[in-house]
Structure 1
Amino acid sequence: MKASRIAAAGAVAASTVVVLSAPAFAHVSVQPEGPAAKGGYAVVDFKVPNERDDASTTKLEVNFPTDHPLASVMPQPMEGWTVNVTKSKLDKPLEMHGEKISEAVTKVTWTADGKGIEPGYFQKFPLSIGALPEDADELVFKAIQTYSDKEVVRWIEPQKEGAEEPENPAPVLTLSAASEDEHSHGASNAEDASDDSKAAAEDTTAASSSDSSDTTARVLGVVGIVVGVAGVAFGVVASRRRTNA
């Protein structure tokens, strides 16, 4: 009896853990495809799972942070989805690459042309974004997920330090520190190009020298043949003169 009760209690506890932990695996999230370094550009994927058994996800809205606006946001074409990029005027213009930017992307919306994300599936929505802020460790987005039955789930709650994860957490993109390699990437490419140019010039010089040597050898060969023929002819003539004498 004790063993049965222990087993039953264990099963209940396990199922409780599964139920409580399920939302953590099902919320809308964002992850970079590679590094997302401060001051640089990155490709990020918004991962959207379908949490319903009887409805499909037909629309996703991602709102961008206004405290760290991004001037460049480019979506990747996706079959079965129509994408719309919304820009808004900035209260304070940004300066990027020596130019002032007066507007930035504030929202990207994907709308399904067909069935959307059906039950039991998830979808990734990729974006190329930048330049990432240099004075922030993370970017917090607000996502709104709409289902085919008109239900709307708002993934907009920020994660507070030291607190449990909220029921509908907002997607958070963690930024990495810019490395020296990234700062010197352009200079490195220039040096590589210079080295390649030098190597190409050396190859051209070597090829020219080789061609010149081949030409000289051919000329000397022809001259040698002509001299040889002339020598033979002279010998024949001289032999005939001695015979006639």
Structure 2
Amino acid sequence: MWSLVAGLVLAGTASAVLAVPATAHVRVDSGGELSKGGYGLVRLVVPTESDTASTVGVTVTIPEGVDLTSARTLPIPGWTATVEREQSGDGQRVSRIIWQAADPAQGVKTGEFGVFTLSAGPWPEDVDSVPLPSDQTYSDGSAVSWNEVVVNDGIDPEYPAPVVTLVDGSGHGDGHGATTTGSPSAVAASDSGSDDHAAATASGSASAEWLWQTAAALALVLSIASTAAVIVLLRRGHVAES
């Protein structure tokens, strides 16, 4: 009898574990790809995972060999952004982009996510993707480094770095991040539409994460309840046999 109970407990626990999704992480919005050798927008979706603290800082490090000569940030109310550069050959390259909340009250709170937009280029022509190691700082002083690169396909690291996907294309933009050609108003309209898409995509991702978390919690409660019921029934049968 007790072997049956043990088996049911293991089965219930396994189903609950399988219902829990991978922990949310900092990622590049999947709504767009950048042209090799060109300029474009990168949107980092940053969820706050802490139950007690807000996200108050995001730092992105540009890997060595990725020589971005231009980088601009989209203003975020209550936040400051700094683009750091370093010497590279005969010129300079962007080395880090730092976003910082002016006040902890302006941070990304528990259950929320922030979108941090970078317009930069030129991106490399000889690779298909560029990882962007990122550090997420919380209001309680803790920090999480999202800097691990996927080594084996199908195996996700615990703290994956967000990745920019690069594709072959002829659009090199205007040197300021716009890949759309035409009048300034057309470029602005394109950027606005892209921002709306990014917000919609990020919102959808957040909703999906909430649904998964709710389903996982429900599965765990049902697993515990069913296991307890089986134990009670078996104990009653044991007493009756005695």
Report the residue type matching 1:120 in the other structure: G
Residue 171 (structure 1) aligned to one of 157, 162, 168: 162
Q: Give, as a single letter, the amino acid of the residue that structure 1 aligns with 2:95.
A: T
The structure with the greater share of residues assigned to helix is 1
User: What does 1:15-26 correspond to in 2, within 5 Å?
Assistant: 15-19=16-20, 21-23=21-23, 26=24
Q: Which has the larger radius of gyration?
A: 1
**Alpha-carbon distance in structure 2 between the residues aligned to 1:144 and 1:50:** 12
Write the deviation string for residues 151-205 of structure 1: whole angstroms up to 9, x where unpaired: 11111111113462111111111111115xx48xx9x97xxxxxxxxxxxxxxxx
- Which residue of structure 2 aligns with residue 158 of structure 1? 149
- Three-state SS of the structure 1 residue aligned to 2:82 is strand
Percentage of identical aligned residues: 36
1:60 paired residue number? 58
- 1:1-245 alignment runs, 5 A limit: 9-19=10-20, 21-23=21-23, 26-31=24-29, 34-90=32-88, 92-93=89-90, 102-114=91-103, 115=105, 116-162=107-153, 164-178=155-169, 182=171
Tell me, in whole angstroms, the C-alpha distance in 1 between the residues paired with 2:110 and 2:148.
24
Number of residue pairs aligned between Structure 1 and Structure 2: 172
The question of whether the paired residues in 2 share the 8 Å contact of 1:33 and 1:43 is answered with: no
Q: Which amino acid aligns with 1:12?
A: T
| 8 A contact 1:34–1:42 mirrored in 2 | no
Partners of 1:131 and 1:79 in 2: how far apart? 27
Structure 1, gaps ≥5 residues long: 94-101, 190-245
Q: Does the 8 A contact of 2:67 with 2:122 survive in 1?
A: no
- Kindly indicate whether the alpha-carbon contact (under 8 Å) linking 2:33 and 2:164 is maintained by their aligned counterparts in 1: no
Alpha-carbon shift at residue 4 of structure 1 (Å): 8.7
Secondary structure at the counterpart of residue 14 of structure 1:
helix
Check whether the contact 2:52–2:110 (CA below 8 A) recurs between aligned residues.
yes
Specify which structure has the bigger relative contact order, considering alpha-carbon pairs within 8 angstroms and separated by 6 or more residues.
Answer: 2
Report the Cα distance in structure 1 between the residues aligned to 2:168 and 2:11, rounded to whole angstroms: 45
What stretches of structure 2 of length at least 5 have no aligned partner? Answer: 173-178, 183-242
**Poorly superposed stretches of 4+, deviation over 4 Å:** 1-10
> What is the TM-score with the length of structure 1 in the denominator?
0.63
CA RMSD across the alignment? 2.6
The answer as to whether partners of 1:30 and 1:171 remain within 8 angstroms in 2 is: yes
Cα deviation, residue 62, structure 1? 0.4
SS of aligned partner of 1:73: strand
Question: What amino acid maps onto 2:142 in structure 1?
Answer: E
State the Cα distance separating 1:64 from its structure 2 match.
Answer: 0.6
Aligned counterparts of 2:28 and 2:128: Cα–Cα separation in 1: 15
TM-superposed CA distance for 1:8, in Å, is 5.3
Give the structure-2-normalised TM-score.
Answer: 0.64
Compared CA separation, residues 171 and 127, structure 1 to 2 (3 A): same
Q: Secondary structure at the match of 1:175?
A: strand
CA deviation profile, 1:4-62 (whole Å, cap 9, x unmatched): 9887555422321244x332xx1111136533111211111011110111111111100
